[in-house]
Structure 1
Amino acid sequence: MSGPKVHEAEHEITVAAPAKAVTQLLVEVENWPWLFPPSVHVQRVEQDGEHERIRIWATANGAAKTWTSRRRIVPAEGRIEFRQEVSSPPVAAMGGAWIVEAEGEESCRVRLLHDYRAVDDDPAALEWIAAAVDRNSRAELDALKRNAEAATGGSSPVFSFEDSRRIAGRAQDVFDFVNEADRWPQRLPHVARVCLEDEDGLQLLEMDTHAPDGSVHTTTSVRVCLAPHRIHYKQIQVPALMSLHTGEWRFEEDGDGVLATSRHTVAVDESRVAEVLGADATLEDARAVVRKALGTNSLSTLAHAKAHVEGGGS
């Protein structure tokens, strides 16, 4: 008896950037959370020559998923092959390739190939997978084009910053405070409401926060909680002024306690600057507003974590 049927899909886009530069963006998986909308966190697990093993946390049709893939990277051919080692249901198996083909010195064609099988060949599962592959492929190719062309032109809207506080305590205790987001409305004054789903450290977090002007903003994030030292997250519903917001909480323990750091990587939505901040506002004005708002909330969270941990809170 034959196994589940293999289905195939192909998507492509033309990018006004050198093929080598585009291939490098695809090789550097640590940048995928800001490069690709579905990607939340990517971790390189093993590497041996042109072969590597990576773990990916991402969204698919609005659901948070994680899987492990093996990749074969041949930069000289502009080819990166991938195959899921451990797939996440309803996917039974998934693989494919990125193929970057030069079209002159400053342009290339990028093809994204997929082949997949569904658990038990279930028709509903196949429909779900096909929709996820199509949505994610289009989103990834559009984002690759946008970011590669912006980087080539020196006008990337993405920027990063971080804030830190030293806390007398253990990394696990500080991690727990940030991990337990369902308790934030009682612990953090800028948080009005939280809805948290948690499955083995892969979280879906919906939150209402108070802005300095008194308004309330709703955000939705996927969080990857790797106790006791890291929490990575990506907002899949962002405030009007941002088109991208990814972040990381780091808890580094040493002899003097814990250095707790909040890092943000953000892209301002340039098309909304005038609408949100006024006709005379510039991109730099928008970046300053975003930096202040996110930094203020992060520092508030770290201050309350410090008080909680050092006060022996429960």
Structure 2
Amino acid sequence: MTENAVRETEHEINVSAPAELVYALIADVTRWPEIFPPTVHAEVVEKDGDTELIRLWATANGAAKTWTSSRLHDPERMSVAFRQVRSQHPVGAMGGAWVVEPVSGSSCRVRLLHDFYAATDDPADLDWISEAVDRNSASELRALKSSAEASGPDELITFDDTVTVDGHGKDVYDFLNEAQLWQERLPHVARVSLEEDEPGLQILEMDTRTKDGSTHTTRSVRVCRPSTAIVYKQVVLPALMTLHTGRWLIEERAGGGVSVTSRHTVRINTANIAAVLGPEATVRTAQEFVRTALSTNSLATLDLAKAHAEGVRSGRAES
């Protein structure tokens, strides 16, 4: 690798919101899946004062990627510097910074800086990284602006559905993880496609049947934690949603068996309410409609996962 293979980029956007508010959104990485379209899941692995180690799962040029980064917060200068600790091919190394610059008491400028090089000397790899950085930076800055400038109530709702299972968490997890079998196992799934190039990082596309017999297509990126959790984010959404993240949680119970929860976080696409539900429908109507549809499918999946795990435990499941 030669020195001139390192590329530096800068993207910026003006935001009509106080700098302190914008900086807070950047600083709290656990909120990123709700703010930034490419981010599927984010975790703080370690934290020591203004230094933290985070792990991110995100899409880049349509592919699912994961990496670990160190971050240094500077609240006084309202900047967050980052450096990937473990990059994923074709990235050799990447770092940069978020910088929030006050323009007035109610507006600011956000600059997003990157420096990076490829893991190989192939110019195509460096171009691929540049394209991903340009695409994601523009997307993230627009989303940050939209979130920071949003006025009125946030149309975000979160809800859970839970069942108890007299069986082993591993068997429940296997049922949820093996989504390539859902077309045969779940009556509301008309078609399914599952890609898993890296163990535990899946791209799931499926056609889901609705009550009227029609189908809609969704595409999700899933982060799978054996026997404990599957976290996902839909990257192709139904018309009524601008955001849908979720997780399947499997927790051991003190008296034996496991508790299995399906959790959804949804933001309504207010622009499509009238077209989908009619001119009299409200945001509340849309929220209830989406909640009922998602809970119905989740409970159907949970009940079948329960039957599968309890069948395995009693020796009745098919091999």
- TM class by smaller structure: over 0.9
1:197 maps to a residue whose letter is E
Q: Which of the residues 158, 170, 173 maps onto 2:171? A: 173
**Runs of 4+ in structure 1 over 2 Å off:** 1-4
Cα distance in 1 between the residues matched to 2:4 and 2:13: 30
Paired position in structure 1 for 2:58: 58
Cα distance in 1 between the residues matched to 2:153 and 2:127: 39
Question: Once the two structures are superposed, what CA deviation does each residue of 1:212-253 show, in whole Å capped at 9, x if it has no partner?
Answer: 121111111100001111111011111111111111110011
1:296 aligns with 2:296: yes
Structure 1 residue 19: deviation in Å? 1.2
Cα distance in 2 between the residues matched to 1:191 and 1:243: 22
Paired position in structure 1 for 2:269: 269
Paired position in structure 2 for 1:142: 142
| Matched-pair contact (CA < 8 Å) for 1:194–1:208 | yes
Query: Helix, strand or coil: the match of 1:77?
Result: coil
Paired position in structure 2 for 1:311: 311
Q: Which of the residues 170, 183, 190 maps onto 1:192? A: 190
Query: Helix, strand or coil: the match of 1:240?
Result: coil
Cα distance in 2 between the residues matched to 1:149 and 1:40: 22
TM-score by length of structure 2 reads: 0.95
Structure 1 residue 154: deviation in Å? 3.7
Structure 1 residue 157: deviation in Å? 2.2
Query: Helix, strand or coil: the match of 1:114?
Result: strand
Question: Once the two structures are superposed, what CA deviation does each residue of 1:184-227 show, in whole Å capped at 9, x if it has no partner?
Answer: 11111111111111121100111111111211111111000011
Q: Which runs of 5+ in 1 are unaligned?
A: none
| Matched-pair contact (CA < 8 Å) for 2:171–2:308 | no
| Matched-pair contact (CA < 8 Å) for 2:19–2:100 | yes
* Sequence identity (%): 56
Q: Which of the residues 155, 162, 165 maps onto 1:164? A: 162
Query: Helix, strand or coil: the match of 1:213?
Result: coil
Paired position in structure 1 for 2:81: 81
Query: Helix, strand or coil: the match of 1:177?
Result: helix
Question: Once the two structures are superposed, what CA deviation does each residue of 1:164-187 show, in whole Å capped at 9, x if it has no partner?
Answer: 111111221111110110111111
- Tell me how many residue pairs correspond in the alignment: 312
| Matched-pair contact (CA < 8 Å) for 1:169–1:310 | yes
Structure 1 residue 271: deviation in Å? 1.2
| Matched-pair contact (CA < 8 Å) for 1:4–1:117 | no
Cα distance in 2 between the residues matched to 1:35 and 1:235: 13
Query: Helix, strand or coil: the match of 2:280?
Result: coil
1:24 maps to a residue whose letter is A
User: What is the root-mean-square deviation in Å for CA atoms of aligned residues?
Assistant: 1.3
TM-score by length of structure 1 reads: 0.96
| Matched-pair contact (CA < 8 Å) for 2:92–2:118 | yes
1:119 aligns with 2:123: no
Cα distance in 1 between the residues matched to 2:304 and 2:229: 18
